Structure 1
Amino acid sequence: MKLLHTSDWHLGQSFFTKSRKDEHQAFIHWLLEQVEQQQIDAVIIAGDIFDTGTPPSYAREIYNQFVVDLQRLNCVLVVLGGNHDSVSTLNESKQILACLNTFVVASTGVDSHEQVFCIPDKSGKPGAILCAVPFIRARDVLQSSAGDTGVDKRQALGDAIKLHYATLYQRALLQQQRHQQQHGVTLPIIATGHLTALGVTQSDSVRDIYIGTLDGFAADGFPPADYIALGHIHRPQVVAKQQHIRYSGSPIPLSFDELSTQKQVMLVAFSQTNPVQISALDVPRFQAMQVIKGDLSAIEQALQRFKSNEFLTWLCIEVETQDYLSDLQQRIQAMTEGLNVEVLQLRRSRNKQRQLLSQQHSETLAELSPHEVFELRLKMENFEDEAEQARLIRVRQQFAQILSEAQRQAPSLENNSAGTS
Structure 2
Amino acid sequence: MRILHTSDWHLGQNFFNKNRRDEHQGFLNWLLEVARSQQVDAIIVAGDIFDTSTPPSYARELYNQFVVEANKCNCQLLLLAGNHDSVSVLNESKGLLKYLRADVIASVGHDIDKQLISLFDSSGNVGALVCAIPFVRPQDVMHSQAGIKASQKQQQLGEAIASHYQSLYSKAQSKQSQILQQTGTKVPIIATGHLTALGVTQSESVRDIYIGTLEGFASDAFPPADYIALGHIHRPQIVAKKDHIRYCGSPIPLSFDELKSSKQVVLVEFTGDATQVTPLDVPSFQPMAVLKGDLAAIELQVAQYQGQEQPTWLSIEVAEQDFLSDLQQRIASMVEGHSVEVLQLRRARNNDKKSIQQIKTETLAELKPTEVFEKRLALESLSDETEQARLRRISHTFTEILNDVELQSKEGEQ
Partner of 1:282: 281
Q: Equivalent residues in 2 for 1:101-116 (5 A)?
A: 101-116=101-116
- Superposed displacement of residue 377, structure 1: 7.4
Partner of 1:405: none
Contact 2:346 2:383 in 1 (8 A): no
Q: Equivalent residues in 2 for 1:9-408 (5 A)?
A: 9-272=9-272, 274-350=273-349, 352=350, 354-360=351-357, 363-366=360-363, 380-381=380-381
Given residue 121 of structure 1, which amino acid in structure 2 is its aligned partner? Answer: D
Contact 2:292 2:316 in 1 (8 A): yes
Given residue 326 of structure 1, which amino acid in structure 2 is its aligned partner? Answer: S
Per-residue CA deviations over 1:314-348 (Å, capped at 9, x if unaligned) read 00001112222111101100100111110000011
Partner of 1:276: helix, strand, or coil? Answer: strand
Given residue 234 of structure 1, which amino acid in structure 2 is its aligned partner? Answer: H
Given residue 199 of structure 2, which amino acid in structure 1 is its aligned partner? Answer: G
Show structure 1 runs of 5+ residues with no match. 385-421
Show structure 2 runs of 5+ residues with no match. 385-414
Mapped to 1, the partners of 2:185 and 2:305 lie a distance apart of 58
Per-residue CA deviations over 1:19-72 (Å, capped at 9, x if unaligned) read 110000000111011000000000000000000011000000000000000000
Range with greater deviation from structure 2 (314-323 or 168-177)? 314-323
Given residue 251 of structure 1, which amino acid in structure 2 is its aligned partner? Answer: P
Rg comparison, structure with higher value: 1
Partner of 2:408: none
Mapped to 2, the partners of 1:366 and 1:334 lie a distance apart of 45
Contact 1:115 1:131 in 2 (8 A): yes
Mapped to 1, the partners of 2:208 and 2:359 lie a distance apart of 36
Go from structure 1 to structure 2 and tell me whether the alpha carbon gap of 1:375 and 1:278 turns closer, same or farther (over 3 Å shift): closer
Given residue 50 of structure 2, which amino acid in structure 1 is its aligned partner? Answer: F
Contact 1:144 1:153 in 2 (8 A): no
Partner of 1:3: 3
Per-residue CA deviations over 1:218-269 (Å, capped at 9, x if unaligned) read 0011000000000000000000001000000000000000001100000000
Mapped to 1, the partners of 2:383 and 2:145 lie a distance apart of 45
Partner of 1:392: none
- Superposed displacement of residue 309, structure 1: 3.0
Per-residue CA deviations over 1:113-134 (Å, capped at 9, x if unaligned) read 1001211112211010000000
Contact 1:237 1:247 in 2 (8 A): yes
Contact 1:347 1:382 in 2 (8 A): no
Go from structure 1 to structure 2 and tell me whether the alpha carbon gap of 1:330 and 1:382 turns closer, same or farther (over 3 Å shift): farther
Mapped to 1, the partners of 2:199 and 2:191 lie a distance apart of 19
Mapped to 2, the partners of 1:171 and 1:379 lie a distance apart of 52
Go from structure 1 to structure 2 and tell me whether the alpha carbon gap of 1:89 and 1:377 turns closer, same or farther (over 3 Å shift): closer
TM-score by length of 1: 0.87
Mapped to 2, the partners of 1:53 and 1:366 lie a distance apart of 45
Contact 2:198 2:218 in 1 (8 A): yes
Mapped to 2, the partners of 1:244 and 1:375 lie a distance apart of 43
Contact 2:8 2:249 in 1 (8 A): yes
- Superposed displacement of residue 144, structure 1: 2.2
Contact 2:15 2:254 in 1 (8 A): yes
Given residue 132 of structure 2, which amino acid in structure 1 is its aligned partner? Answer: A
Contact 2:70 2:77 in 1 (8 A): yes
Per-residue CA deviations over 1:153-176 (Å, capped at 9, x if unaligned) read 000000000000000000000000
Per-residue CA deviations over 1:129-155 (Å, capped at 9, x if unaligned) read 000000000000011211110000000
- Superposed displacement of residue 271, structure 1: 1.3
Per-residue CA deviations over 1:256-289 (Å, capped at 9, x if unaligned) read 00001100000000011x5100001100000000
- Superposed displacement of residue 357, structure 1: 2.8
Aligned length: 379
Given residue 4 of structure 2, which amino acid in structure 1 is its aligned partner? Answer: L
Mapped to 2, the partners of 1:382 and 1:346 lie a distance apart of 12
Mapped to 2, the partners of 1:31 and 1:214 lie a distance apart of 33
Partner of 1:40: helix, strand, or coil? Answer: coil
Given residue 244 of structure 1, which amino acid in structure 2 is its aligned partner? Answer: H
Mapped to 2, the partners of 1:380 and 1:35 lie a distance apart of 44
Go from structure 1 to structure 2 and tell me whether the alpha carbon gap of 1:137 and 1:382 turns closer, same or farther (over 3 Å shift): closer
Given residue 282 of structure 1, which amino acid in structure 2 is its aligned partner? Answer: D
Partner of 1:345: helix, strand, or coil? Answer: strand
Given residue 329 of structure 1, which amino acid in structure 2 is its aligned partner? Answer: Q
Mapped to 2, the partners of 1:267 and 1:77 lie a distance apart of 14
Mapped to 1, the partners of 2:377 and 2:269 lie a distance apart of 53
What is the RMSD computed on CA atoms of the aligned residues?
2.1
Contact 2:7 2:248 in 1 (8 A): yes
- Superposed displacement of residue 306, structure 1: 1.0
Percent identity among equivalent residues? 59
Contact 1:188 1:270 in 2 (8 A): yes
Go from structure 1 to structure 2 and tell me whether the alpha carbon gap of 1:246 and 1:383 turns closer, same or farther (over 3 Å shift): closer
